Amino acid sequence: MSFVWPWQYSFPPFFTLQPNGETRQKQLSAWCALALAYSQQHRLPAMTVREAQDIPLFANHRLQRKLPLESIQVVLEELRKNGNLEWLDKNKTSFLIMWKRPEEWGKLIYQWVSKNGLTNSVFTLYELVSGDDTENEEFHGLDEATLLRALQALQQEHKAEIITLDDGRGVKFF
């Protein structure tokens, strides 16, 4: 399935953050929506800001336009304010875009557990995101860092407990 770019992506001024406050806010909203949709479709891994500069999300090669590094950082910070990005280092050079917040992933996982009568069951992390039983679920294939954040959110709600197993980590659902 190919990615469908929004109309703004073909509009050269989109790659220059606008000075007018109202216009800039609409532009940032469009960039955030694009970043989330692109990240979801391509299941982007954690990356550095420099690496992000060269992916199609921020570089339209057909137009020969790139969003400048400083503007990428503004978009990423906006995503962080919205709860959809986590900086992975103090210097804000590495990040992870979360097209769903950990609480949303946790809710999806717990709905699957409840729907299938699997409360009071223990799963390895691998079984949850790579097992045959979850193949048709949206969280199938989720990276481990995001999965752990989702399970921590469930743990705070007392719906799950992350446990250490002989061969790695697992989770028990309540």
| Residues whose CB is less than 8 angstroms from the CB of residue 151 and which lie 6 or more positions away in sequence, other chains included | 106, 109, 160, 162, 171
- Token pair of 82 as six digits: 């919205």
Output the pLDDT for position 121. Answer: 94
Q: What's the whole-number average pLDDT of the chain? A: 94
d(CA 105, CA 146): 8
Average pLDDT (40-52) is 90
Tokens of 90: 């103090």
Give the bridge partners for 97, in sequence order.
85
- pLDDT for 94 equals 96
Can you tell me the distance from the alpha carbon of 112 to that of 139, in angstroms, rounded to the nearest whole number?
10
Q: Which domains does the chain have, with CATH numbers?
A: 7-97 (1.10.10.570), 102-173 (1.10.10.10)
Quick check: 108 pLDDT over 80?
yes
CA distance 172 to 161: 5
Instruction: Report pLDDT digits (tens) over 116-171.
Output: 999 999 999 999 999 999 999 999 998 888 899 999 999 999 999 999 988 789 99
Residue with tokens 């073909």: 10
For residue 107, pLDDT over 80 is answered with yes
Structure confidence at residue 139 (pLDDT): 94
44 against 87, higher pLDDT: 87
